[in-house]
Chains A and B, each alone.
Chain A
């Protein structure tokens, strides 16, 4: 396996002088091609900061981030991102939001519609294709953002608490769908969550971070087979890993 995303001693601070705040300190992390890693840690420990650096939306203060062995220099179409705050374009309908990236790629209208139909169906928003984002619930907005990111078919998915606003049932559905597409298409996924259960259920490895300053605390491998099922979720092995992660997060 080759390394897809690489953080090499990455640090990032905000502000200067007395306001100087270290959001991320000396992060060293390799994410392999086709791997599914989840990132957990207390609020403000630099999870989003690390992800924005990988996305090319934020510069490092020192160290470097590499994707496919090349230094990250701005966003690229091979890296899709789902933002913690949905970031839907409020003046575009749900469908037009989903088709935004496809339009940039210059796809003809019929083809765009075919693709958006497919992903709207996947996230269960077919009936809301023409609705404006302001009429959607938080969970529906998030599903629209997911469809928009999936639609451009990126090799790497950077997901910042993508299922955070979903109700428990939709959440489990989306988890299984994501795992299903991932095991078929083997994208590389970096997935931030604050739900320890979700972190263990989805991942090859769980990255646990600590705060003040934001840093890597522990990497916990999840040696459970895919497809992950209800049985696995209820197994003693799962419980044991979950306890380890829980401990790493909450007893810092």
Chain B
């Protein structure tokens, strides 16, 4: 009992020292990041001021950003793009994970499904848009369908890879301890493939985001892609810039969220 009370006290010193050193390293990295950002903005200003290219400068874009944000337009666009991505992505992964497990677990299922997955992986989801519009109409369905496809294809392969790369000795160890097939699946196969699945989610979300924007460029009445397409018609370069920056920023945020989830869920992994 006393030992347990004493232990944390003994650990305090090295831990705080470590924290400070880490904080220093992190803040140094952050400072450099900020520096890079300012240098980039400076460069952008210089190039546009000098009139080298006919692009809007950071100030003009910032003004346009405030305009679009205060009119609420920007948030409506973000809202419709995001809701498409999330709907398509969630549908995609919720079909992909069970099918990936099925493919990894049953050889028959693998042989039946794999040719299709491998084939469709080679077709960019966007290439399906014309077909989707013709067969599904011009409302939300074709857009959500192509995002579904993008998310599904990357996650199904990742899940299936995860299942087949589970260490066989872990399965043996579980069987020797009395585990049946169901238990092995739930207590060994599923946790062991989580890292793979999350990598698939990350790639899938990136692909979905890329796909939604492109799909909106082609066929939509709202969304960030649609806004850019409209701006292109009226030569509103600053609106295009605002949309581009928003797209990049939101993509980054989503990627970081999945990455954070990945880190939390796979702390048990040995990292090199």
Contacts and interface: CB of A to CB of B under 8 A. Distances in A.
Interface residues of A, number: 27
B267 interface: yes
A3 interface: no
Contacts of A76: 178
A100 B174 contact: yes
A152 B177 contact: yes
Given A77-B178, A80-B176, A134-B270, A89 B170 contact: yes
Given A55-B172, A57-B176, 5 more contacts: A57-B175, A77-B177, A80-B177, A148-B177, A152-B178
B268 A90 contact: yes
B179 A104 contact: yes
B169 A101 contact: no
B32 interface: no
A85 interface: yes
B192, B194, B268: residue with the most chain A Cβ atoms closer than 10 Å? B268
A44 interface: no
A87 interface: yes
Nearest to B170: A87
Main secondary structure of the interface of A (DSSP, over half): loop
Contacts of B167: 87
A100 B65 CA distance: 56
A134 B268 contact: yes
Contacts of B15: none
Nearest to B271: A134
Interface of A: 52, 55, 57, 74-77, 79-81, 83, 85, 87-92, 100-101, 104-105, 132-134, 148, 152
Contact of B175 (A75, A90, A148): A75
Contact of B268 (A75, A105, A132): A132
Contact of B173 (A74, A77, A83): A83
Nearest to A102: B177
A87 B269 contact: no
B269 A134 contact: yes
Interface in B56-102: none
B94 to A, nearest CB: 23
B256 interface: no
Contact of A85 (B169, B178, B183, B188): B169
Contacts of A152: 177-178
A52, A80, A104, A152: residue with the most chain B Cβ atoms closer than 10 Å? A104
Contacts of A83: 169, 172-173
B176 A104 contact: no
B251 interface: no
A174 B268 CA distance: 28
A77 B178 CA distance: 5
Given A85-B169, A90-B268, A91-B268, A55 B178 contact: no
